[in-house]
Amino acid sequence: MASMSLSSCLSKSVRQHYMSLPQGEKCQVTYIWIDGTGEGLRNKTRTLDSEPKTIEDIPEWNFDGSSTYQAEGSNSDMYLIPVCMFRDPFTLDPNKLVLCEVLKYNRLPAETNHRISCNKVMEEVKEHSIWFGMEQEYTLLGVDGHPFNWPANGYPAPQGPYYCGVGALNAFGRDIVECHYKACLYAGIKIYGTNAEVMPSQWEFQVGPCEGIEMGDHLWVARFLLYRVCEDFGVVATLDPKPVTGNWNGAGCHTNVSTYKMREEGGLPYIEEAIDRLSKRHDKHIRVYDPREGQDNMRRLTGQHETSNINDFSAGVANRGASIRIPRQVGQEKKGYFEDRRPAANCDPYCVTKMIATTCLLDLEDEKENQ
Ligand code: ADP
Ligand code: MN
Ligand code: MN
Ligand code: MN
């Protein structure tokens, strides 16, 4: 029990009494934003007089950026610009969760606000109707930082029975997974599915297909819901791409991609063209596939444990050791989508989807210069 938080042990029946009190016409709106680390999420809540019907009904707000690694104390007010609204699965209807962009005091985007530039690219490529689906892998830890349900000393049995496993010896922490799934559905997240991963206490959920900017919006809020559900249970979800060194799988955020033409009959050549373009910009992609320009992913992309080597680009049908995998069914039907297996679990989906859309669909100045 020592590895679970004290907060999670507070009386749930006392909580239930207060949570069931009527709240009248008022509406609680929780503003969510990405902090200065580019990985952490913050939130705070305010009361609106009535339920907002659209995102336009939610006012701008502000926060103290000097407490989120986003501003100096002397000029610390940052703006919160609501961009995407969801139902609140914790305090229930009519309350809302709202994802926000962060602007600095001068109304320029904060350093970790990659949504603005991502959205610009997505507008430019709109005619292609680009869809994404991201597979978010994560690892459950106790509040002591030790993998959840692992023996205090030593290791669980080697990898083998855990992927999509069932039973108390194989599946660690399924309550979290099931509650998070329901919370996503209630909120309105386009959650696609979930499964237990290869390493014990490691799980995955997928979000998609989402068109354009929606991918980043939904994945960030799905991550918020995951952290919040874990908080209720007194455990921690980490997106570290290699939480345990040695013979244990790392955690990625495979990104599946298609355009209108790829999805149509005879789409395979368009998939191949995209892969050819990706092959020429491998380094550029690696630099934005984790928050530390490849330093985090270096620990994961070793060429072992179903990964490619960080220094090499490769592609293949049904090949889980390649940078890019074409699913077998897509190879057979000669249309569909491809999977970029390189992004780390802690990537910013705005950076990843922006880079993929740019490389695959835009005429690139730097490529022209090279000719
Ligand atoms: P894997 O076999 O790699 O584990 P998953 O089943 O975990 O694949 O995830 C598949 C992902 O592909 C989902 O996120 C889904 O939304 C996405 N996806 C499915 N069809 C498309 C498509 N046409 N374009 C883009 N993404 C897609
Ligand atoms: Mn998967
Ligand atoms: Mn997986
Ligand atoms: Mn995958």
Query: How far, in Å, CA of 151 to CA of 139, rounded?
Result: 15
Query: How far, in Å, CA of 310 to CA of 303, rounded?
Result: 8
pLDDT at 302 over 50: yes
- Tell me which ligand sits closest to the C-alpha of residue 218: 1
Q: What is the mean pLDDT of residues 230-237?
A: 98
The pLDDT assigned to 178 comes to 98
pTM flag (> 0.75) = yes
Question: Rounded to the nearest whole angstrom, what is the distance from the C-alpha of residue 317 to the centroid of ligand 4?
Answer: 13
Mutation test residue for ligand 1: of 138, 204, 206, 319, the one with most atoms within 8 Å of CB = 206
The pLDDT assigned to 287 comes to 98
Percent of the chain with pLDDT over 70: 98
Q: What is the mean pLDDT of residues 332-351?
A: 98
Question: Rounded to the nearest whole angstrom, what is the distance from the C-alpha of residue 264 to the centroid of ligand 3?
Answer: 27
Q: What is the mean pLDDT of residues 152-158?
A: 93
Q: What is the mean pLDDT of residues 177-189?
A: 98
Name residue 87's beta-bridge partners: 96
To the nearest 10°, report the CA torsion of 272, 273, 278, 281.
150
Query: How far separated are the first and last CA of the chain, in Å rounded?
Result: 62
For the chain, the helix, strand and coil percentages under 3-state DSSP, each to the nearest 5 = 30, 25, 45
pLDDT, averaged across the chain: 95
The pLDDT assigned to 45 comes to 98
Ligand 1 site, residue 349, Cβ cutoff 6 A: no
Q: What is the mean pLDDT of residues 309-328?
A: 95
pLDDT at 44 over 50: yes
Q: What atom in ligand 1 is closest to the CA of residue 263? A: 23
Question: Rounded to the nearest whole angstrom, what is the distance from the C-alpha of residue 295 to the centroid of ligand 2?
Answer: 23
Closest alpha carbon to 207 in 196, 241, 120, 220:
220
Spatial contact of 83 and 55, defined as CB atoms under 8 Å apart: yes
Closest alpha carbon to 75 in 106, 102, 31, 100:
106
CA angle 121, 54, 132 (to 5 degrees): 35
Ligand 1 site, residue 258, Cβ cutoff 6 A: yes
- Tell me which ligand sits closest to the C-alpha of residue 137: 3
The pLDDT assigned to 366 comes to 61
Mutation test residue for ligand 1: of 129, 135, 204, the one with most atoms within 8 Å of CB = 135
Query: How far, in Å, CA of 208 to CA of 353, rounded?
Result: 13
Ligand 1 site, residue 135, Cβ cutoff 6 A: yes
Which pLDDT tens digit goes with each residue over 62-75?
999 999 999 877 78
Domains of the chain: residue spans and CATH: 13-112 (3.10.20.70), 121-370 (3.30.590.10)
Question: Rounded to the nearest whole angstrom, what is the distance from the C-alpha of residue 247 to the centroid of ligand 1?
Answer: 27
Which pLDDT tens digit goes with each residue over 184-211?
999 999 999 999 999 999 999 999 999 9
pLDDT at 99 over 90: yes
Closest alpha carbon to 251 in 202, 310, 321:
202
Give the 3-state secondary structure of residue 268. Answer: helix
Q: What atom in ligand 1 is closest to the CA of residue 339? A: 3
Ligand 1 site, residue 256, Cβ cutoff 6 A: yes
CA distances from 324 to 128, 275, 316, 342, 364 (A): 20, 8, 7, 8, 21
Of all protein residues, the one whose alpha carbon is nearest to atom 18 of ligand 1 is 133
Closest alpha carbon to 258 in 310, 215, 308:
215
Give the 3-state secondary structure of residue 128. Answer: helix
The pLDDT assigned to 371 comes to 46
Query: How far, in Å, CA of 101 to CA of 116, rounded?
Result: 8
Ligand 1 site, residue 254, Cβ cutoff 6 A: yes
The pLDDT assigned to 73 comes to 73
Q: What is the mean pLDDT of residues 52-62?
A: 98
